[in-house]
Structure 1
Amino acid sequence: MEVKKISPRVSCFLQVKLDQAVVDYLWKIIDIGKTNNKNHKNKLVGNISQSLLLDDIDSFFYKSVCVPLIKYYRENNPISGDPVSENTLLKPGSKLILNNLWVNYQYKTEFNPSHDHSGVYSFAIWMKIPYSWEDQKKLPQFRNIRDGDIKAGCFEFEYIDSLGGILNSMYRLSSEYEGYMVFFPARLRHCVYPFYGSDEPRISVAGNLNYLPD
């Protein structure tokens, strides 16, 4: 008999190590954001202490990071161009913009429940991780639990396979992920689990890219 493997196409996500100049720029606008104090918490589902809007000065982040990642994603996503998956049923001349950019401060026991974002593409950037998953799993409450089931402090994507089952892709975070970014379709569900032990905040930057008519 002749057997041929057929793999259904699935939207990808990108993992990006940001240049230090970009990381420094993000810390700069985070400091400005703390001064401006534009609350964004009431627009989000996060069960966390604080979310503040950020201003992308002169569109530096959009131009230097978002634009090349959009190009790369469209060229490398297995189902790029699919109007359902990419939300491209738009009027002629529609423009893709960075319409939301914010910073999250998450303290121990706080969490971001499973959710998706508005728009076409979204991203999350880990700026400060004050714990490591390896240390989290050693806490007394996780004794006798399999490593694969210990999700304290993790970031997790959720998606559906070809049989309708729910799968996940999990990041077991530590300070080694500081300066890393994940870029993904806005409708890809994800969550952030609570961490324990540290009194320092987990700081992340997130944003949405959407189309607006000219």
Structure 2
Amino acid sequence: MSFEILKPFGPSIVKTVIPNEIIMEMNKFIDDLTKEDEKKFDHGPFLIGNVAQEFRLDIEFMKKIKWAEFLGKSCQKWLLEGHDISIKKFDIIDSWVVKQFKNDYNPIHFHDGQISGVGYLKVPKNMGNTVQNSKKTNHNGKLVLIDGSKRFVCTPTYIITPQVGDFYFFPSYMMHIVYPFSGTIEERRSVSFNAKIDEHAAKLK
């Protein structure tokens, strides 16, 4: 399994890959939602995003497709190999899927718990150009992780271009933003989670 610990600034983050079987199961679950299911699993009122469709994953479904297992094992590997921290507790607070369309966005925010993450289930082929259509960096549809402010030889941001299957773990306190995109009717679909770990481990530096 691809697994890379990244340290673009102070805290480390992890880039790994969601197994194809889980991607297929999640996409099927979301695609098959009925109107009643959409009401039942609607997670939008608990999230900050300016997004019309955000759906909670229930614990039984997460266990069935081994999503909880994937998150727990990846988190253990990250903390042990990257920080020499051993954990026994990994409690998922919530996990949800975001269906983002043209002009939807998530403002700067942080999450609950100690560990959070996001991965990608569907990504538009083209998320539009910048207004000036110049050589400026195009942030359309991208996730930006933020840590502190700009310092000498230290960047405060890490820009993530969504790719289907890529998944990133990061400390839940880390501020981040998802930019809107344009020029397409395609869907940008992501999955996120929050989790609590051992109290003593969460306090370690």
- Normalised TM-score (structure 1): 0.74
**8 Å Cα contact 2:106-2:179 kept in structure 1:** yes
In 1, Cα distance between the equivalents of 2:198 and 2:44?
24
1:170 is matched with 159
Instruction: Indicate the percent of aligned positions where both proteins have the same amino acid.
Output: 21
- Aligned mate of 1:158, from 132, 137, 146: 146
1:55 is matched with 58
Secondary structure of the corresponding residue to residue 77 of structure 1: helix
Secondary structure of the corresponding residue to residue 160 of structure 1: coil
- Aligned mate of 2:97, from 89, 99, 103: 103
**8 Å Cα contact 2:42-2:56 kept in structure 1:** yes
Secondary structure of the corresponding residue to residue 97 of structure 1: strand
In 2, Cα distance between the equivalents of 1:15 and 1:183?
7
Secondary structure of the corresponding residue to residue 62 of structure 1: helix
Is residue 142 of structure 1 aligned with residue 148 of structure 2? no
**8 Å Cα contact 2:10-2:147 kept in structure 1:** no
In 1, Cα distance between the equivalents of 2:197 and 2:81?
20
Q: CA offsets, 1:130-153, max 9 Å, x none?
A: 1336xx33x5x1334523xx3112
| Structure 1 portions without partners, runs of 5+ | 1-8, 82-87, 89-93
In 2, Cα distance between the equivalents of 1:48 and 1:73?
30
In 2, Cα distance between the equivalents of 1:69 and 1:208?
14
Q: CA offsets, 1:161-200, max 9 Å, x none?
A: 6959871100233xxx111111111111111101001112
| Structure 2 portions without partners, runs of 5+ | 1-8, 200-205
**8 Å Cα contact 1:29-1:54 kept in structure 2:** no
1:13-28 equivalences under 5 Å are: 13-28=13-28
Give the letter for the 1:118 counterpart.
D
Secondary structure of the corresponding residue to residue 26 of structure 2: helix
Shift of 1:33: 5.1
Q: CA offsets, 1:40-60, max 9 Å, x none?
A: 101111011111111242622
Is residue 210 of structure 1 aligned with residue 196 of structure 2? yes
1:71 is matched with 76
**8 Å Cα contact 2:93-2:195 kept in structure 1:** yes
Rg (Cα) greater in structure: 1
Give the letter for the 2:58 counterpart.
D
Secondary structure of the corresponding residue to residue 181 of structure 1: strand
Shift of 1:211: 4.7
Shift of 1:113: 0.7
Number of paired residues? 185
In 1, Cα distance between the equivalents of 2:197 and 2:85?
16
Is residue 36 of structure 1 aligned with residue 41 of structure 2? no
